[in-house]
Chain A
Amino acid sequence: MQTPVMTEQEARAPAGSVTQPAARVGWSSPRGWLQQQLPRLVLSPTVLITFVFVYGFILWTLYLSFTRSRGIPSHELVGWLNYQRVWNHPRWSVALHNLAVFGILYIALCLVLGLLIAILLDQRIRQEGALRAIYLYPMALSFIVTGTAWKWMLNPGLGLEKLFKDWGFANFKFDWIIDERMAIYTVVIAGVWQASGFVMAMFLAGLRGVDQDLIKAASIDGASLPRIYRRIIIPQLRPVFLSAVVILAHLAIKSYELVVALTGGGPGYATEMPSTFMYAHTFTRSQLGWGAASATMMLLTVAAIMVPYLYSEVRTVRSRRQ
Chain B
Amino acid sequence: MAKTWETPQMVQETGFRWSRVVVYGLLVFFGAIYLLPLLVMLLTSFKPLPEIYAGNMVALPRHWTVEPWVNAWTKACVGLNCNGIKGYFWNSIQMTVPAVVISTGMGLLNGYVLTKWRFRGANVLFGLILFGCFIPFQIVLIPMATFLGRMGIASSTTGLVFVHVVYGLCFTTLYARNYYMAFPDELVKAAMIDGARFFSIFRRVLLPNSGPIIIVAVIWQFTNIWNDFLFGASFSTGTSAPMTVALNNVVMTSTGEREYNVHMAAAMIAALPTLMVYVFGGRYFVRGLMAGSVKG
Contact of B184 with A by CB under 8 A: yes
Docked CA distance A238–B293 (Å) = 15
Q: Smallest Cβ distance from B23 to chain A, in angstroms?
A: 5
- B267 with A140: CB separation less than 8 A: no
- A152 with B263: CB separation less than 8 A: yes
Within 8 A of B (CB), among A144-178: 144-146, 148-153, 158-160, 162-163, 166
Docked CA distance A55–B128 (Å) = 9
Q: Which residues of B lie under 8 Å from residue A108 when comparing CB positions? A: none
Within 8 A of B (CB), among A111-131: 113, 117, 120-125, 131
Q: Which residues of A lie under 8 Å from residue B185 when comparing CB positions? A: 14, 17, 19
Interface string of B19-38 (1 = CB under 8 A from A): 01001101100110111111
Q: Which residues of A lie under 8 Å from residue B128 when comparing CB positions? A: 50-51, 55
Considering the complex, give the chain A residue whose CB is closest to the CB of B202: A42
Considering the complex, give the chain A residue whose CB is closest to the CB of B40: A153
Interface string of B233-247 (1 = CB under 8 A from A): 110000000001001
Within 8 A of A (CB), among B113-155: 113-119, 123, 125, 127-132, 134-144, 146
Contact of A250 with B by CB under 8 A: yes
- A141 with B271: CB separation less than 8 A: yes
Contact of B206 with A by CB under 8 A: no
Considering the complex, give the chain A residue whose CB is closest to the CB of B165: A49
Point out the residue from B1, B130, B139 that lies within 8 Å of A61, measured CB to CB.
B139
- A141 with B7: CB separation less than 8 A: no
Interface string of A204-221 (1 = CB under 8 A from B): 010010001001100100
Q: Which residues of A lie under 8 Å from residue B170 when comparing CB positions? A: 50
Within 8 A of A (CB), among B44-96: 44, 52-53, 56-58
For chain A, the count of residues having a C-beta within 8 Å of the partner chain is 125
Would you call the interface of chain B mostly helix, strand, loop, or mixed? Answer: helix
Docked CA distance A246–B181 (Å) = 25
Docked CA distance A61–B146 (Å) = 11
Docked CA distance A202–B246 (Å) = 33
Contact of B207 with A by CB under 8 A: no
- B41 with A278: CB separation less than 8 A: no
Q: Which residues of A lie under 8 Å from residue B112 when comparing CB positions? A: 42
Give the one of B6, B226, B290 with max A CB within 10 A: B290
Interface string of B267-295 (1 = CB under 8 A from A): 10011001101110010011101110111
Q: What are 10 A-B residue pairs whose CB atoms fall within 8 Å in the complex?
A: A1-B296, A21-B117, A54-B131, A121-B27, A142-B227, A148-B247, A212-B11, A291-B138, A306-B131, A311-B127
Chain B residues with a Cβ under 8 A of chain A: 1, 5-12, 14, 20, 23-24, 26-27, 30-31, 33-38, 40-41, 44, 52-53, 56-58, 106, 109-110, 112-119, 123, 125, 127-132, 134-144, 146, 166-167, 169-170, 173, 178-179, 181-182, 184-186, 188-189, 192, 197-199, 223, 226-230, 233-234, 244, 247-248, 251-252, 260, 263-264, 267, 270-271, 274-275, 277-279, 282, 285-287, 289-291, 293-296
With A5-B287, A54-B135, A264-B252 already in contact, 17 other A-B pairs whose C-beta atoms are closer than 8 Å: A9-B179, A60-B143, A64-B143, A120-B27, A125-B27, A138-B34, A142-B274, A145-B271, A149-B267, A159-B57, A166-B56, A193-B34, A202-B293, A219-B8, A254-B137, A294-B138, A306-B131
